[in-house]
Structure 1
Amino acid sequence: MQESGAVDADGLARLQQYLLADTALQDQLVRCWGGSDYVAELCCRRPELLTELIASGDLQRPYQAEELRYKLDALLAEVETEDQLAFQLRRFRQREQVRIIWRDLNRQASMVQTTAELSAMADAAIDAAYQWLYGRCTQDWGVPMGAEADEAPWAQHLVVLGMGKLGACELNLSSDIDLIFSYPCQGETQGGRRSLSNQEFFIRLGQKLIKVLDAPTVEGFVFRVDMRLRPYGQSGALVLSFDAMEQYYQDQGRDWERYAMIKARVVAGDQQRGSELLAMLRPFVYRRYIDFSAVDALRDMKRMIQTEVKRKGMQENVKLGGGGIREVEFIGQAFQLIHGGRDRALQQRPIMGVLAVLQEKEYLPKAAVDQLVDAYVLLRNVEHALQAVDDKQTQKLPEAEVAQRRLAWVMGFEDWAAFKARLQACRDAVQCHFDGVIADPSEQSDEQLDDEGWALFWAGHLSEEDAQARFAEAGYAQPERCSKLVDSLRQGRALQSVQRKGRERIDLFMPMLLAHLAELDAPDEALHRLVPLVESVMRRTAYLVLLMENRSALTQLLTLCASSPWIAEQIARHPMLLDEFLDVDSLFAPPVRGQLADELRQQMMRIPDDDLEQQMEALRYFKTSHVLRVAAAEIAGTLPLMKVSDYLTWIAEVVVCEVVEIAWSNMVARHGTPCGADGEPAPRDFIVIGYGKLGGVELGYGSDLDLVFVHGVDGQRSTDGERSIDNQTFFMRLGQRIIHILNTQTASGQLYEVDMRLRPSGASGLLVNSLEAFERYQQQDAWTWEHQALCRARVIAGSDVLAGRFEQVRGRVLGRERDLDKLREEVVRMRQKMRDNLGTPETAAGTSESSWSADAQFHLKQDHGGIVDIEFMVQYGVLAWSHRHPELYRFSDNIRVLDALEATSLIPAEDADLLREAYKAYRSAAHRLALQNQKGVVGGDAFHTYRQGVCDLWRRLMLEANEQQSGPQ
């Protein structure tokens, strides 16, 4: 095999002789190589490719149906390995790309023929690769079987849906392919070395299929594969069953997914079952009634695309820019979504067919359709000419003069000016028809809030008195202060150093911002919180464009910043969080734990395993963005307190699990896997135990993580790698690695602050203990307060088997019988010590109501009647009575333990209810204070009823029952 990049001189000589005999072929060669560096370079490297195409006559004719598949099957007949499969697929693509580009640039094929053959090539490659891989996978893992009602078990195949241009048979010369994978029903494989669930089988098969098509090799790639259109997007499972697909689109399918599903087509796998799947999904796509609401969805998509166009400077993009390919497609799809449920003629995929129906059925005038068809053909030919140059996915018109002349020549124009004039006329026509069909009527009026007065102020054209009057009239409470604040921003050094384009954006944004702020109830505070954000994006003003082009995003941003200085600070520190405001629905609906884990896993899969810095940055953004969603939902009132803590805890758990995965992989790559007592590599016998708020599923916005690390193998054994170390050292370094990833300050801040002081022997103890050593310490050496802490402990990451063993140890420690008088004495003593050191001085000395005045302070956590009093009583109950009622230590959170104490009649129902309600009220107040960047302290007269009730119960449960306890409390 000739090396990629090498030039075959002898082959070129033979090709030259071959061409000398045919002048027409010479002209075609000049046009093809002149328009495509990719083809020229490939033919120089592999001249036999072109000579074979010429000799076979394939260069001068269109293919018949299935001809591409026959050719590919012949190439794959002798393939025995996945590497050989990848090689032959890439060689197949090279040959057909040369042929298709040659015919396209020489206008031997129409635009429709070109896109159809490119799509047929993709179909052949996907299905042939799938069939080969399916055969190999069934040898290894068995055949996936399915059985439905009244059916005998049958062998299942994957259904591969092609979306977008592939689904419509409209691929361009360098298209990505959008795919969705599904399979008929649940079951297990049969006949392999070990059984897998059908889903696991098809996930593995799908991953192999993506790799063989997408992975770049020395021969390039076959097709770049995009799976983001599947249910739940990047966070969703790679493969879903038919039932799961139907359920998703029925319950959660969004308008843009209806738009995407219009073009869905079975391109590989089980065609018959795939047709059944599409029939199941058709009611989601096409409503039975005339659906004018669909236009709003397309308008939203248009706004999002326009935002991206402006953010990324893509106005010269013939696909996404104004009057481009996407707008022609939107026009057709608008009519399909509105009328397709009743007019089945519109239920087709190719846009050219849709446009023909629009003319035939008089949805659009003939003249309008003619203009759209002409423009679409020109735009697609331009797209192909741009992509033919280097076989790259681009739709942007060139800026260099030589490249412009080349494009004009390929397109058949005398010069760039003539070509550009024709192109612009077509785009103007498309824009006109697009606006007539899609544009929001409200956009025709001036919605801008940046009125002339604010623009004059920002430009510095108002006197100081007029500027302050302007703020006062707009409802600002401190007009002088606000005027000076904005003026200092305008005259500041940071703004003066911004480049021209950035300054223009800021000059447009600031008047709009000031006018929007004036609509708020408290614009002064919001302004002070937004100014740091503006300063932070001075050199990244694309974020301001995002807000200008998405008024709903700006409105939500102002609302949240006005409600919470903590949110304002987070966004100013991490401006990329502004991307979260593009989708308001997801902003106020954070994903649950499973979705969080899937989303993070998908994000981390795109990062090289050895790029720890990028992994750490991705983890920090993931955590920050999802905590923002939780805060937004709490402020909006869509998440109650208990759910807020659940979500914040889930985020931490998912992050810690991924950190353990990264650290473990790194350690194993360096030192090998720890070996067990039998000398064989042991399973990942390691767990991370969460204590405190993490263990109790009660994390707040600024909570640190109390962690303990435990392993379950013989510490004297060693790892099996070339750089072997003893197991105890391995786990110690693993723990250090985990802490490093969590604790390290990067450009995006710290992931979490980690506290390891609750491990056996505290700061002086080993960083990682064996489970046996952990139990020995808990049974023999631990203080009562350490057993109290164990009440709030649970495994959050690591081995399920070791986690089960830990729960048994925890049960033995917490469930042993104790001397109740001694236990009360030790709990009360520890509580008093905490009050003395951490409580509010004026209230720590007593519980009388005189110390609870409005002038005093109440520390929600540490003062009398506060959170810790409740927690200590709950922990006392667990330690005192678990030997008779093991259900008390089943859960680690206070609310469910209180439920158990009530259910066992150890605490009266009215007392349990009081503690639950007080606990939730205190924590809710603490959350609100955290969002205001305030400490967990309120006025001394707050929560009087709850405090009194908690203090009374503390006195009855913890003091009066212990006659030895004396002195003021």
Structure 2
Amino acid sequence: MARTAGSLVRLGFLDAAAARSAIDDLGEHGPALVQSLASSADPDAALAGLVRLASAVDDREDLLRTLADDEDSAERLSAVLGASEALSVHLGRHPEHWRDLTDATLATTRPPAFVVREEMLACVGADPEAAVPTSTMPDAAAVNALRVTYRRLLLRLAARDLAHRVGVDDVAAELSDLAAATLEAGLAVARSRVGESAGAARLSVIAMGKCGGHELNYVSDVDVIFVYAPVDGADDNAALRAATQVASQLIQVCSEDTAEGTIWPVDANLRPEGSAGPLVRTLASHAGYYEKWAKTWEFQALLKARPVAGDAELGRDYLELIEPMVWRAAEREGFVHDVQAMRRRVLDHIPAHQAERQLKLGSGGLRDVEFAVQLLQLVHGRADPSIRSGATLSALAELTRGGYVGREDGEALHDAYAFLRTLEHRIQLHRLRRTHVVPEDEASLRRLGRSLGFFSEPVAELDKQWRHHRREVRRLHEKLFYRPLLTAVAKLAGGDARLSLDAAEARLAALGYDDPKGALRHLEALTSGVSRTSDIQRTLLPVMLEWFADAPDPDAGLFGFRRLSESLGTTPWYLKTLRDEGEVAQRLAFLLGTSRYATDLLEREPQGVRMLGEDLTPPSAEAITAEMQSVASRQTDPEEAARAVRAVRRRELLRIASGELVAGTDVALVGHGLSRLTDATLEATLGIAMESVRATRGLDQVPARMAVIAMGRYGGFELSYGSDADVMFVQEPLDDVEPQVAASFSQAVVGELRRLLSMPATDPPLEVDAGLRPEGAQGPLVRTLASFEAYYAKWSHVWEFQALLRADAVVGDEGLRERFTALIDPLRFPEGGISSDDIVEVRRIKARVDDERLPRGADRNTHLKLGRGGLADVEWTVQLLQMRHAGAFPGLRTTQTLVALEAALAADLVSESDAAELADAWRLVSRMRNAVTLVRGKPSDQVPRDATERAAVARVLGHAAGESDRMVNDYLRTTRRAHAVVEKIFWEG
């Protein structure tokens, strides 16, 4: 019965006119085949392929009549022709293979592995019954026969898969059996190539990866490891040569391209030492490597090891050797860091333009499930052999059955993984190319959708299903690792849980928690009860636990979260914010698990959690000063006013610390922000102190103008979190005020200022240090402008003029500040520069500082302030340039190190490369100094020796977990280069 164009379109043909013409070409049997063709992924391609096949076969009539009479055979052939262009081409080259698709057993029976092995060995003329099968065919004929037979068996499998909807795990297992049989046959050809000497060694081929796990793709490298043993009486060197030659030839037999195409590459790079190691090893050599040198990821890879070809007894001996090592891997030192590194590698290998369409490596992809299942196996398989399967779906089923994964979670992940693997298979089948990227063009998506059974809206339904399953997988770490932990804590309260407490502790330990029992107690405290708060915590904690595990100190993160949650109690916004704003929760987890400094601030300022969703850029000094003065004005008691000011400072310290930790605030901006925050704090508190002293003394008005001069790193806009505020105080009596009255008042104000800023409170005190004033601790705390002028004119030394390079009149009476600056500028920026004697004196003082001030036991290579290439080296070098040349180059008249360095470069006083080395060192050392304080909660000028603290500092600086050694190497390299510049400019220039 002839089909109309409209009916053909409704059946799925896109080019109805071409389809009608092709059906007519098939003669009387054509109309009977339309329905089978229409059920394929691409009816037009299936029809075109059938026409080509009909013209290539010896008996066209037999082909068409058989297909017309046998609907199952017609559907199998149509399914292949419509889904796989590559297999369609194969049928055009070997048209006789169409008869394989008439085998009725394809619908119901997976061929046994031994049958496939026998067929592959027979095709290269090897006796399957022989103890060591060897090919008897000419080499070229055997190699081509191997490819033709492999492709014929692949055709049969594809027909079963496409037409009869075989489960993806069965398809993958059948592909793995076919690969194993091909390796066996390839081994027979390889032995024939090597000749008689091949008999000197027993050789076993151990499949790894997907082939070893019985879950191979249609197109994939086949990963292998070779193990050999000398035959009785054979020389060891002869055995090694023989095994190496046979293994090398096997790789060539399978991998090389011939007139009959390729099979797949054999990849031996998972062997010990990778491509740098010997191709073959004895059992003893494997044992020595794995016991001494192997990384955690290598044991993860060995989860799937399976002997597939060659000497079966030797393969079993290899498995017995490695199995105990695999299941002890989770006990290894560094297991957690290795696991984190493996997780990062998954994402690092994704090309940016493929990230959203990657089935394998992308977020919510196949590797996410595989990695999580394997990690659960490594953690729990030590005590439970039932979960040691190499196949992902089988292992997931056993993990679910054993209660390590919730039943619903396990089923959802099974469905998601099966869908993604099936989609991957359909993509690869089209041209038999190794790819894991979902195409974007409409025609390909339509073919893929129909191949998966979506016929009404194939593109839309495919997209919908793909996105659904990706979302399921994206939650896999919550699903597989963290949610079961919450059911386990129920046992602490006498309840029942599927995941045992021992298993929960093992899982927490594997995730990096040093005190798993303590972690479980925290979880119980957070989730016990039936309140809404507990419900939300049970929703939040699976995700939070993962983020804590990613932080350097998971235990501190969880404990800090518990304390913070308890302090905020039932505050309505807190948990709602964390639940609804993922960035806030993730930032909070990182802060709590990384920084004692930020954690302390959060515990004192729990409202600061809200800030984590805001802009973390430090605000201006003017804005903070206005706020501080406003909150202070609402208090009548000076101490309460000061506490209000310090509360604002505490909040802004948290903002700046959080910005550096989670938002990447530049270190120069951090120093600027901390310095301006100190300006505002001193400005507001100075006003409180002056008013307090005035009221206490019963004065109608304050008798003196006052100003605060920032010094040192404070004056240079370069404060760090642990810095004191180095200052000098200057005062000026008002008109008609006795100097003694003004002096007494100013002294009292400074005392009150320091008292208010250091009194016990819930915020970090601000220590005000006036030690850089003239005469130091022996001199008056406050001086008049005239007193400063007289001192500098008569008594000051070059080091005091050097200290004035950092003097910045920042707080207090504006006119007084301007007059002080005008006084000191000629002293610190002399018109002709400092004398040669003064240069010698500066160098002498620097040498003395280097020798005497380095703390006992400190490492000069890693001391952040006084070490080689550290802050002092860079800053003294820049300051010497300023003292020598600022009179001639106005750009050097600045208190800021980096600004002065840029000016020196512009004035050609330093080369571009030297300036870059100094700036890089200053930035890196300043960042590390900040990071140390943030991590430890207190300042230190030494690169941490403690491994946990060092790892946390590395994370703050942007290094990945486990890269603390790289951080130290970067530091040493950068400071070494800077020190060379210091030697050239400071000491020799």
TM-score range, shorter chain: 0.3 to 0.5
- How does the TM-score come out when normalised to structure 1? 0.47
- Which of 1 and 2 has greater Rg? 2
- How does the TM-score come out when normalised to structure 2? 0.46
More helix by share: 2
